[in-house]
Amino acid sequence: MYRDRKLLDLAENQECLMRLHSYCMKDQGSTTVAAHDNSLQSGKGMSLKADDSRTVWACYPCHTLFDQGKMDYDDKIKAFELAYTRQIAEWIKIAQNPCLKPWRVEAAQKVLNHLGVIYG
């Protein structure tokens, strides 16, 4: 199981990448957290979250809709995968930016290495 508190902390004050809810807070960042994938394929189970490597930055309205909203399961999976593509692109930007705090760069590099994503 991949766990990394620093990776989850990267979400703080970031733009919402989920973009599901009509009241999405977009780039406000004030409520953004790392939302875990809810699919069984990603390791989600009773009282068990998916790997931290399967997270997407999401504002409160989008995260709530994704976790508890009355969306079709397949639609939730599709929405997560689309957002996850955006998430990986953001992690690549962070991993390649030497001007950021080292812990941020290291967290992004660590998850990309875990996923086997080439970013250099």
What is the helix (H) or strand (E) element at residue 98, kind and residue range? Answer: none
Q: How many domains does the chain have?
A: 1
- The region that residue 91 occupies, defined by phi over 0 for left and psi between -120 and 50 for alpha, beta otherwise, is alpha
Q: Mind giving me the DSSP string for 16-28?
A: PS---STT--TT-
CA distances from 65 to 15, 33, 36 (A): 17, 14, 13
Residue 87 domain flag: yes
Please report the pLDDT score of residue 35 as a whole number: 97
- For residue 91, the enclosing domain spans 5-114
Predicted pLDDT at 39: 73
Q: Is residue 120 situated within a structural domain?
A: no
Q: For residue 2, what pLDDT is reported?
A: 95
In the chain (120 residues long), the average pLDDT of successive 10-residue segments reads 97 97 94 89 66 97 94 93 98 98 98 95
Q: Residue 53's pLDDT is what?
A: 97
Whole-prediction pTM value?
A: 0.92
